[in-house]
Amino acid sequence: MFKRFTAILLLVTLISSNFSLFMVYAGFQMNRNYIAATLCVNKNRPWMHCNGKCYFMKKIHQAEENEKKQEAKDNLNRLEVSFFQEPYRFIPVTPQILQAVRSNFPEYNYQYKSSYLNAIFRPPKQIA
């Protein structure tokens, strides 16, 4: 319920900001008699047959100026900041040959001796 109400409220505010001139016109048409009787600038001059149109034009001019101000403010918010960076140069790192690693252990000496006697070994002969 809360989400639906919030969505409807946001839609109404969005529409009212985009159609502000329509809202001014609708408000003028709904309250025409009241505007002509009390808010009209030319109510002291009935021969002009203004009937509140002067007030209506003043409100339309005010709404247009508000739109222009809002547009200028939006353009300031849309200020584009460009980011330039030098191209990255890949420089491979040359491998370094490390010095011989010395360990604390003594070297292993393979001390096996073979007692292979070539004189004793004779492969079997073929009988054919």
Look at residue 61 and tell me if it is in a domain: yes
Look at residue 66 and tell me if it is in a domain: yes
Look at residue 15 and tell me if it is in a domain: no
Please tell me whether the overall predicted TM-score, pTM, comes out greater than 0.75 for this model: no
Judge contact between 31 and 51, C-beta under 8 A.
Answer: no
Q: Which residue has the higher pLDDT, 100 or 73?
A: 73
Closest CA to 68 of 27, 26, 20, 25: 20
- Per-residue tokens: 80: 């584009």
42-59 pLDDT, tens digit each: 777 777 777 777 888 888
In this predicted structure, what is the pLDDT of residue 103?
Answer: 65
Look at residue 51 and tell me if it is in a domain: yes
4-15 pLDDT, tens digit each: 999 999 888 877
Give the contacts of 59 (CB within 8 A, at least 6 positions apart): 24, 27, 28
Domain that holds residue 41: 20-77
Look at residue 65 and tell me if it is in a domain: yes
13-36 pLDDT, tens digit each: 877 766 777 777 888 888 788 877
Look at residue 124 and tell me if it is in a domain: no
Look at residue 126 and tell me if it is in a domain: no
As a residue count, the chain comes to 128
Total count of domains within the chain: 1
Q: Which amino acid is at 79?
A: L
CA distance 44 to 42: 5
